[in-house]
Structure 1
């Protein structure tokens, strides 16, 4: 079971995919700055998962 479906129409605009990917990394930086390393690693891992599915493995539909 995948946690995110990159084929959903919501993820079609590139700016939306990149924004969704950037938010966990920004929050990981906030947590890192506050000294909460476990939360920083957790959010960085979530960001990495999103990069893998929404940026690296994203394939446009044949309709686009």
Structure 2
């Protein structure tokens, strides 16, 4: 079971991945200071999993962006013909 899909476009930006991990570990710190170790472990586990998925094993697959002219084939350059004297024009 995969909770975080690293190929999702939302995770392409580095600051988004850093923010997700930082929020999880920051919340774990808040829970430790507040004296609730159960939720601290839950938050730290979420942060560790997010770090593992978004940094350690992060290898997104490139996505092909659709072009406006996808239906048309690209124009091929005209073949150059040699002139009578053997030189290419």
Q: How high is the TM-score relative to the length of structure 2?
A: 0.66
1:2 corresponds in structure 2 to 2
Measured after TM superposition, the shift of residue 62 of structure 1 is 4.1
Show the 5 A alignment for 1:1-64: 1-62=1-62
- The TM-score normalised by the length of structure 1 is 0.90
Secondary structure of residue in 1 paired with 2:17: helix
- Extract unaligned runs of 5+ from structure 1: none
Q: Distance in 2 between matches of 1:14 and 1:59?
A: 13
Root-mean-square deviation over aligned CA pairs:
1.2
1:3-53 per-residue CA deviation (whole Å, 9 max, x = no partner) reads: 110111110000100101110100000000000001101100010000000
